[in-house]
Structure formats: C-alpha cells, structure tokens
Amino acid sequence: MTTASAAVASVRDVSKTFGARKALDGVSLDVAAGEMVALIGPSGSGKSTLLRSITGLQPIDPGKGRIDVFGETVQQNGRVTGAVRRARGKLGMIFQQFNLVGRLSLFSNVMLGALGRIPGWRGALGLWPSQDKARAMAALHRVGVSDYAAQRANTLSGGQQQRGAIARALVQGAQGILADEPVASLDPVSARKVMELLVELNKRDGLGVIVTLHQVDYAIRYCDRVVALKSGKIVYDGPATGLDTRILIDIYGPEFEDAFWETKA
C-alpha cells in the first residue's frame, strides 16, 4: 500500500552482476520523502546501475535483494514487478542526454508528462485538455524556457533540454526525481541553473531527489546527504559536510581533486 509519506526508494541488499563483474554488491539505501541525495563515486562504481535498478529499467540479481519505490515493491528476487509502472508514474527521470524526443517541440515533450492522465488516443492526436496545456506552459515558464516552447527539442541547448525535462516532471506531478548525471554535459552556468532548479523542487515542492554527480563540489554545495559508491559498495553515507580529505581519498584515491569541477573549497 502506498502512503503519501512513503520513502522515495528503499533498496535492500541489492546486487547486480554483469558477466564476472559485480556492478552492485549488497547495496542497501533508504531515501525518505523530501530528501535530496547525491550519489557520487568514481566512473564505473555503479551509480547509474543503482538508478536504473530503482526505476526497474534493469532487473537486479535473483536472491534476497529487493527495491521499493514509494511503497511499491518494484523488484524482488531478480524480477521487475507489475507495480513498476505505478511507481514510475511518481518518478520524474532526468538523464544526461536523450531526455526529450528530438523531433517534437519542447511543449509537446513537456505534455508527455501528462500522458499518464490523458487517454492515449487524445494524446496521440495532440488533443490535450486545456488545463494540462496551461500547466505545461506554467511549468516551462517556471524553469525559464517558455520562450522556446514551439522549438524542436533537438535544436535546443543541453541546458534548455534539461530544464524541459524538469518541466515535464512537474507536469507529470512527480513526487520524486531521479537524475543521472544531469549536468555532466553542461557548461557551469547551465549546470548551476539545473542544480538550483532541482534544489527548488526539493525545498519548495517537497520532491525527493536522487542525483548522480561526477562533481563532488556540486554534491557538497547542493545536497544535504551524500552517498558514495566504490566498486558497487556504499563506502560513505552521511552529511555532505562530513566528506573530508581522508574519505575523499578512500572514494577516489589520491587524485581526488580531479573529482571537483570548479575549485576545491
């Protein structure tokens, strides 16, 4: 049963093996409603695999591992359950690229967020209810890209596309956001804007946010809690302020300063 205050995600003893490689190795993690959590770790540490497992895009290893999203069990014993669609309806997903349907306008992309509520034939014909259209324009306005509503998504800048994806999550009425390296291909100004929007959705709208980041300084600046993965295991889970040099060396090795995008504080 789902409750309004159900955790965004509850991950219990989850492993995921690709061939001989354990991408996730006994991971347990709880993200409460309204939390903003950065997922960090070196390349190949399992961050994307964990997010993909939470969304049910990829089955976890059979066994005792289990994942619940907003109170729905989405993965159990290596199987993605039928409840995953309901859970996904509450999750806005933002990826580094391939966020929007390139040949559709920004507006149509944002309207896709409302598809769960609109009968398929109406959506397919572009017969959107006027209140949904107004909601989409308000969301585009809120994230600062309403001027580009009619423009094809594949002609927008990366930052504009990411903001469009955030607007789509707003129209969807998402209760949580999973963002996989949402700023990795953006310039610092656009990246800051996207992170500020995620913080605003978290603080003002109460959405739970799990965001994978390559840049440790961004994790520290924008997220209260940081979870670090290394070789598929959680090696740090605590306040961003607790990430001292010793822990950073443990996560990234002696070259840890390379994981800071701007300058180390």
Ligand X SMILES: Nc1ncnc2c1ncn2[C@@H]1O[C@H](COP(=O)(O)OP(=O)(O)OP(=O)(O)O)[C@@H](O)[C@H]1O
Q: Does 48 bind ligand X (CB under 6 A)?
A: yes
Maximum Cα–Cα distance for the chain, whole Å?
57
The smaller minimum CB distance to ligand X, of residues 54 and 111, is found at: 54
Instruction: Kindly state the smallest distance separating residue 228's Cβ from ligand X, in Å.
Output: 10
- Given candidates 10, 15, 29, 45, which one binds ligand X under the rule CB under 6 A? 45
Phi and psi, residue 65, nearest 5°: -60, 145
Query: Measuring CA to CA, which residue among 27, 58, 55 is closest to residue 177?
Result: 55
Give the count of beta carbons closer than 10 Å to the beta carbon of residue 61. Answer: 18
The only residue of 11, 14, 23, 165 in contact with ligand X, by rule CB under 6 A: 23
Which structure tokens are listed for 241?
A: 């302020």
Stretch that binds ligand X, among 47-55, 97-105, 126-134, 220-228 (CB under 6 A): 47-55
- What is d(CA 138, CA 144) in angstroms, rounded to the nearest whole number? 10
CB of 100 closer than 8 Å to CB of 165: yes
Given a contact cutoff of 8 angstroms between Cβ atoms, the answer to whether 36 and 224 are in contact is: yes
Taking CB under 6 A as the rule, does residue 108 contact ligand X? no
Instruction: Please tell me whether residue 44 binds ligand X under the rule CB under 6 A.
Output: yes
Cβ proximity to ligand X: between 21 and 203 the closer is: 21
Candidate ranges 15-23, 141-149, 191-199, 203-211; the one touching ligand X (CB under 6 A): 15-23
18 is a contact residue toward ligand X (CB under 6 A): yes
Say whether residue 15 binds ligand X (CB under 6 A). Answer: no
CA-wise closest residue to 93 among 24, 172, 17: 172
In the list 3, 43, 131, 263, the residue contacting ligand X (rule: CB under 6 A) is 43
Cβ proximity of 148 and 202 under 8 Å: no
Residues that bind ligand X (CB under 6 A): 18, 21, 23, 41, 43-49
